A and B are shown apart, each in its own frame.
Chain A
Amino acid sequence: MKNANAVTANAELPPAVPWGRIGAFLVALLALFGAYRYYQHVTSFTVGLDYFEPEFQIYWMNLLYAQLAIEAVVFCAVIGYLWMTRDRNVMSITPQEELRRHYVLLGFVVVFAVIAYLAASLYTEADAAWHQVTVRDTDFTPTHIALFYFGIPAFIIIGSAAFVYAHTRLPQFHERVSMPMALLVAGPIMIMPNLGFNEWGHTFFYAEELFAAPVHWGFVLLGWSAFAAGGFLIQIITRLISLSKLEGDTDVAEA
């Protein structure tokens, strides 16, 4: 892990945003979500209508098992890497290095926002359209497998990675926890237990899939956790203003 001593090459110049890496990551991410969506489009109404058909097991359940395994590995690898390479001298990094790390954190959050859009809008409403065409069958449908076992886990992985990155590499987050960021990351995580309640409710007392039904309101509440993005942005932006202050500028109270 780089620390203050390692950042010596051109310490007086402020760092650039890693646009290339962020762009490459976003292109790869969009390609992955786009390919998944294409697969969903061509197989949902052909081999994805009935959980009890052998074709469903081949084309959708095998995909589900594979993606769950991959997601678990990716989550452990990313979080493990960020933790093992944490900066143990985080309070002594240079302002330039701190600024660079803030750019990386903002890059994480941009990726988080892209996945938020894809999962919460495109993939969620695919499920709405699906349920108005097909009668509810089982917990595992092509749209549920894409949304709850691919989109939301991706959301959880990137959110958790951003959280660990911030709390292991930025002085502002050292030995304390950003409550808004914790809420922002906890929302997608808590969607999974709420999914359990939702499916249980559908098997028990509410068979229909009217999207605005009360059995779905738990998801709404967890979606509102994103309101904490405001507090989190205040924390980040006030620090960035301090990091880019010139002599004679008005002081901004860091949040």
Chain B
Amino acid sequence: MTDTNEAAEARPKARSAVTTREQQWQVYKNIDLMAIPLIVLLFAGIFSFHFALTVGDWDYWVDWRDRRWWPLVTPLSLLVLPAVFGYLLWTKLRLPLAASVALLSFALAAWVSRVMNFEIFAGFPLNMVSPSTFIGLGLILDCTLMLTRSFFVTGLFGAFFFAVLIYPINWPLMAPFRVPVEYNGTLVTVADLMGYEYVRTAIPEYVRIIEQSTLRTFGEAVTPLTAVFAGFLAILMYYFWTWVGALASRAVWIKRIF
């Protein structure tokens, strides 16, 4: 089993099916017209699946987006596809677009799902389940790659800021739900109140557990500390998943399955 293996070299090279430049451009256009929707749909499907099963409920619900676990696990999960397909698109096609396209495709799929599944099907209010925004993070990663042309530097700075900025970039969306209100003599947030009113099968114990540990003694520094820690982990994640992308981009042939 090799990349372009001995079996490939023994094969006759393909003869051309075109004779003019116009025909050649038509073939290229046909490839683009099929490959671009294919890539967007695959990104949307894989990203949703991967994100649902690694972050899932922490991003589905506004009251789950806590200040310690959500800002850590979310960027680490989000980085996987941009890193894997970033290698493919940059090294093979010189396109610094993987993170932006992947996150944009994911955003479209997430909105369709939250409206169709969580609001229309299950009956939750849309402002309780609307997705977070991540497209800006993809732009940061892609711009770093485009400007530096280096996976090393992109990991060091792009991936670091990808994770660090996830909370600030979402803050305008979350702020209205962090307003304190008094509920039966207890201080809660608007998001907490929505969570109490719309009872679900796995809430709110997990969020409460997150709020019980010695890290609470850091007070308001919890989120910045989490963001920087997520940034350091994101650097390692980016390098690891870029390597996986290098493996996945190999055009391997094998002689037989059996």
* Contacting residues of chain B (193-226) with chain A, CB-CB under 8 angstroms: 200-203, 206
- Determine whether A202 belongs to the interface, using a CB cutoff of 8 Å to chain B: no
Closest A residue by C-beta to B244: A227
Question: Would A126 and B121 count as touching, CB distance under 8 A?
Answer: yes
A225-249 vs B: 1/0 string, CB under 8 Å?
0111111111101111011111000
Q: Which residue of B lies closest to A118 (CB)?
A: B45
**Assembled-state Cα–Cα distance A133/B124 (Å):** 9
CB-CB under 8 A for A180 and B248, given A113-B42, A210-B206, A254-B14: yes
Complex contacts, A232 vs chain B, CB 8 Å? 251
Chain B 100-118, CB-CB to A under 8 Å as 1, else 0, gives 0000000001001100111
Q: Which residue of A lies closest to B203 (CB)?
A: A132
B56:A128 contact, CB within 8 angstroms: yes
Inter-subunit contact A95/B15 (CB<8 Å) = yes
B18 interfacial contact with A, CB 8 Å: yes
In the bound complex, do residue B18 and residue A177 qualify as a contact, i.e. CB atoms below 8 Å apart? no
Residue of A nearest to B120 (CB): A41
B residues within 8 A CB of A98? 14, 17
Determine whether A3 belongs to the interface, using a CB cutoff of 8 Å to chain B: no
Determine if A69 is an interface residue (Cβ-Cβ < 8 Å).
no
Is there contact, CB below 8 Å, between B27 and A240? yes
How far apart sit A11 and B20, CA to CA, in the bound complex (Å)?
A: 14
Bound complex: CA A217 to CA B124 (Å): 26
Chain B facing A: main interface SS = helix
Given known pairs A110-B37, A113-B45, the reply for A177 and B253 (CB within 8 Å) is yes
Task: Point out the residues of chain A lying under 8 angstroms from B3, CB to CB.
Answer: 255
Other-chain residue from B35, B49, B53 in contact with A233 (beta carbon distance below 8 A): B35
Q: Please report which residues of chain B, range 43-88, place their CB below 8 angstroms from some CB of chain A when the two chains form the complex.
A: 44-46, 48-50, 52-58, 60, 73, 84-85, 87-88
Closest residue of chain B to A106 (Cβ to Cβ) is B34
* Stretch in contact with the other chain, from B5-13, B155-163, B179-187: B5-13
User: From DSSP, what is the main secondary structure of chain A's interface residues?
Assistant: helix
Contact of B49 among A106, A177, A223 (CB under 8 A): A223
**B41 interface residue, CB < 8 Å from A?**
yes
Q: Per-residue CB proximity of A33-77 to B under 8 Å, as 1/0?
A: 000010011001000000000000000000000000000000000
A14 and B38 contacting across the interface, CB-CB below 8 Å:
no
In the bound assembly, the distance between CA atoms of A116 and B16 in angstroms comes to 33
Contact of B38 among A95, A110, A228, A254 (CB under 8 A): A110
Contact A234 B255 (CB under 8 A): no
Question: Are A122's CB and B257's CB within 8 A?
Answer: no
A235 in contact with B251 (CB, 8 Å): yes
Residues of B within 8 Å of A103, CB to CB, are 30, 34
What 1/0 flags go to A148-184 for Cβ under 8 Å of B? Answer: 0000000000000000000000011001111110100
CB atoms of B49 and A220 under 8 A apart: yes
Q: Which of A96, A135, A230 is the one whose CB lies under 8 Å from B201?
A: A135
- List chain A residues, Cβ under 8 A from B200: 132-133
- When C-beta atoms are compared, the residue in chain B nearest to A238 turns out to be B251
* Known contacts A114-B41, A212-B53, A95 near B257 by CB under 8 Å: no
* A89 CA to B250 CA, complexed, in Å: 28
Closest chain A CB from B6 CB (angstroms): 11
Contact of B13 with A242 in the complex, beta carbons under 8 Å: yes
A117 and B254 CA atoms in complex are apart in Å by 29
With A171-B11, A242-B16 known as contacts, the answer to whether A17 contacts B30 (CB < 8 A) is: yes
User: A116 contacts which chain B residues (CB < 8 A)?
Assistant: 41-42, 45-46
Report if B175 contacts A (CB, 8 A).
no
Q: Bound complex: CA of A109 vs CA of B20, how far in Å?
A: 28
B56/A210 in contact, CB under 8 A: yes
**A131 at interface by CB-CB < 8 Å:** yes
* Closest CB pairs A-B (n = 8): A211-B56, A255-B251, A121-B48, A116-B45, A95-B17, A179-B252, A113-B41, A120-B49
Beyond A124-B52, A243-B15, 20 extra complex contacts between A and B, CB < 8 Å: A113-B45, A120-B48, A121-B45, A121-B112, A125-B48, A125-B113, A128-B52, A132-B203, A177-B255, A179-B1, A210-B206, A212-B54, A212-B57, A217-B54, A227-B85, A230-B88, A231-B249, A232-B251, A240-B31, A243-B17
**22 A-B Cβ contacts within 8 A?**
A95-B16, A99-B27, A110-B34, A116-B41, A118-B45, A121-B109, A122-B116, A125-B117, A126-B113, A128-B52, A128-B117, A177-B256, A178-B251, A179-B254, A211-B57, A211-B60, A212-B73, A227-B248, A230-B87, A231-B248, A234-B249, A255-B4
